Structure 1
Amino acid sequence: MGSVIGEVLPLALGIAISPVPIIAAILMLLSPRARGTSLGFLTGWLLGIIVAVVAFALLASVLPDDDSDASKPIAGVIKIILGVLLLLLAIKQFRSRPHGDAEPPLPKWMSAIDTMTPVRGVVLGFLLSGLNPKNLLMGVGAGVAIGSGTLTFGEDVVVIVIFTIIAASTVAIPVIGYLAASAKLAGPLESLRKWLVPNNATVMAILLLVIGVVMIGKGVGNI
């Protein structure tokens, strides 16, 4: 189980260190409906992560069984393909970074956060975590690692729980912290938002580059 946890940890961090959902959570916490929309967003974020990793773990579990000491070529090839896709996303993110003092464009839906309902918050959280292309690749990678890891059902559950907690932590911590002490965290959250907006593309490019290289290395090791 330890080796599988080691494989999914970088992928969980890749989902966790995603500036856009963190910015969205901060904007919700600073909106008139902070409590309802932020909790809805967190709920959808958790559901999206869980559904993605469980679905791909189930798919990976039907791959042909291998000897535990033998290579796993199918899982290896999948990991290499995912790694290459992550590298391509890294290049795209790096090219989209703002130059000089230019203000980077933000998704249009962010302008509607002040009027967002809790239900829409759930839907947005689910879409950003489970169906976002970058996060989906991370979910596929984690699912393949878990499903092909020859673990027991209980061990699969433990790994999925660990993966979900880490992946959701950067959204869960500010939401829970703000609802517990809103007056103290309003200023720091706004400062964090101002830093994340211009540095979003650069942070994601570096993150995707590192995880893509790691994924390719894991895939080569499985072949």
Structure 2
Amino acid sequence: MLDAIGQVLPLAVVVALSPAPIIAIIVVLLGADAGRRGTALLAGRVLGVVLVVAVFTLFAEAIVLLGMPPLLEAILQLVVGLVLAIVGVRKLVRRSATTTSPRWMTSLEGISAGRAFWFAVVLSIANPKELAMGAATGLVIGGLIPEPGPALAVALVYTVIAVLGVAAPLVTVAVMRERAAPVLTAIRGWLERNNAVLMAILLLVFGAILLGQGVSGLA
């Protein structure tokens, strides 16, 4: 189990630092009814992360039960890692200096709690980068841990860390109240200006992690 935690921990950190969900929760928290809408968005984020990990954990377990080659997981990690590294390099090369907020960010300003919940779910399962991170985690859990108890424990560790990027601003508002607004506004502006570079770095780091795990699996 410790080996699995060691493999999924850096993946969870990369998910937690993903700029888009952090910007989303900040936009929601700076609007009206921040507490209820922010809590709904966090709940949706948790559900989305759990769903992705669960699906790919079951997929990895099916691979083991069907007696398919163990190298398949390593090959998948190599392929996904290479793709993410290439996308990261392209983002870094093609980054723009625009400071215009994407339409999805501005649409969150007046979003309801129910829509915030489902937006967070979709953000976690439909974003290719988020999907790849959860898929890699599921493959590790399903491939290394046959017992349900330890598998659930590793999945819980991953989920808790992965949603910290969304949970931290919510806790900040609960503690600081109105004093949190200037801080969140400054963080939002910085993330919007540096979103492309941050995402490129995350993709490169995550791609390198997967490539390393894939090479280790082949060895």
Q: How does 1:29-48 map to 2 (within 5 A)?
A: 29-48=29-48
Per-residue deviation, residues 182-203 of structure 1 (Å, max 9, x unmatched): 1221111111111111111111
Give distance in 2, aligned partners of 1:22 and 1:150: 31
TM value normalised by structure 2: 0.93
Give distance in 2, aligned partners of 1:214 and 1:181: 36
**Match of residue 149 from structure 1:** 144
Root mean square deviation, CA, Å: 1.8
Per-residue deviation, residues 94-119 of structure 1 (Å, max 9, x unmatched): 134223xx42x433122122221001
Per-residue deviation, residues 123-155 of structure 1 (Å, max 9, x unmatched): 110111122110000011000011000341110
**Match of residue 215 from structure 1:** 210
Runs of 4+ residues over 6 Å off in structure 1: none
Residue 32 of structure 1 aligns to a residue whose secondary structure is: coil
Contact 2:18 2:202 survives alignment (8 Å): no
Sequence identity of aligned pairs in percent? 33
The letter of the residue matching 1:64 is V
Give distance in 1, aligned partners of 2:162 and 2:87: 19
The letter of the residue matching 1:24 is A
TM value normalised by structure 1: 0.91
Give distance in 2, aligned partners of 1:185 and 1:191: 10
Per-residue deviation, residues 22-42 of structure 1 (Å, max 9, x unmatched): 111111111013122211111
State the aligned residue count. Answer: 217
Give distance in 1, aligned partners of 2:16 and 2:88: 16
Contact 2:85 2:207 survives alignment (8 Å): yes
> Please, which runs of 5 or more residues in structure 1 have no aligned partner?
none
Shift of the alpha carbon at 1:214? Answer: 1.6
